[in-house]
Every structure is written in structure tokens, then in C-alpha cells.
């Protein structure tokens, strides 16, 4: 359970290096649309790009459920869609979410996101550019 919370803390610090150091070499991220991204080099680039788009992205965990190597985290994701380097308040969004970590040893082998992306989509479509 500790590694899943460490993973969230690294995300909340937006520390791509910390996030990658907590992954297995064959780590896979599966987003809420079912898109799979695998491997540390691709994940490093993906997290860097995501933090470029949402520089204040964070996850607040309300509940953690653990069974063996599977950790489920329930809470809220939030952030602000960056517009030309700025973070206008009207581009802020939040959504309930669940994250499923498959842990292997002391590392995260799979990070699966279950979240409604509609709040972010609306901000991206109608927010300040």
C-alpha cells in the first residue's frame, strides 16, 4: 500500500523522475478511455507532457483498499488546464476518480485510472486558450 501512496505523492509533487523510479520496467498506464502506455521511457514523456498541459494536477485520496498486490485508491483529481503558460481560474476542473495500482515488489507495475474526463474536456474546449 505504501508504494501506491508514494506514487500519488510523486504525482502531486509533479516529479516525473520520482514517478518513473516507482515503476517496474514493464509498467503500464491504462487511462479511463482504455488507452495503454507502457515502458518507462514512454511513461516519462507522457507524464512530462501531462504536467505541461496541467501543471498543478493533483490527486486527493479519501480511501484506500488493499488486497494482496492490488491497491485501489478513491478520491478526487483536480488541476488547471494551462493556457499559453497561464493558469486562468476558469480553466480549473475537478472530478471524482479511482486509481488501481498493481504492485510488484516495491514498485507499481500497472496504474489504471477510472475518472470522468468530461470536466477537463469542457475546460479544454471552452476555456481560455
For the stretch 41-95, pLDDT in tens is: 999 999 999 999 999 999 999 999 999 999 999 999 999 999 777 889 999 999 9
> What integer best gives the mean pLDDT of the chain?
93
**What pTM was computed for the model?**
0.92
- What domains appear along the chain, each with residue ranges and CATH number? 2-126 (3.10.450.50)
- The pLDDT of residue 54 is 95
As to burial, measured by CB atoms within 10 angstroms (0-12 exposed, 13-18 middle, 19+ buried), residue 49 is exposed
CA 98/CA 30 separation, integer angstroms? 12
Amino acid at each position: 500500500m505504501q508504494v501506491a501512496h508514494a506514487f500519488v505523492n510523486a504525482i502531486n509533487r509533479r516529479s516525473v523522475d520520482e514517478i518513473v523510479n516507482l515503476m517496474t520496467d514493464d509498467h503500464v498506464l491504462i487511462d479511463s478511455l482504455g488507452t495503454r502506455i507502457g515502458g518507462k521511457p514512454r511513461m516519462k514523456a507522457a507524464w512530462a507532457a501531462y504536467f505541461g498541459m496541467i501543471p498543478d494536477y493533483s490527486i486527493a485520496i479519501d480511501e484506500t483498499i488493499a488486497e494482496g498486490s492490488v491497491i485501489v485508491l478513491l478520491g478526487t483529481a483536480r488541476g488547471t488546464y494551462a493556457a499559453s503558460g497561464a493558469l486562468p481560474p476558469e480553466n480549473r476542473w475537478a472530478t471524482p476518480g479511482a486509481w488501481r495500482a498493481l504492485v510488484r515488489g516495491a514498485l507499481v507495475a500497472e496504474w489504471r485510472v477510472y475518472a470522468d474526463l468530461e470536466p477537463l474536456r469542457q475546460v479544454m474546449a471552452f476555456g481560455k486558450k
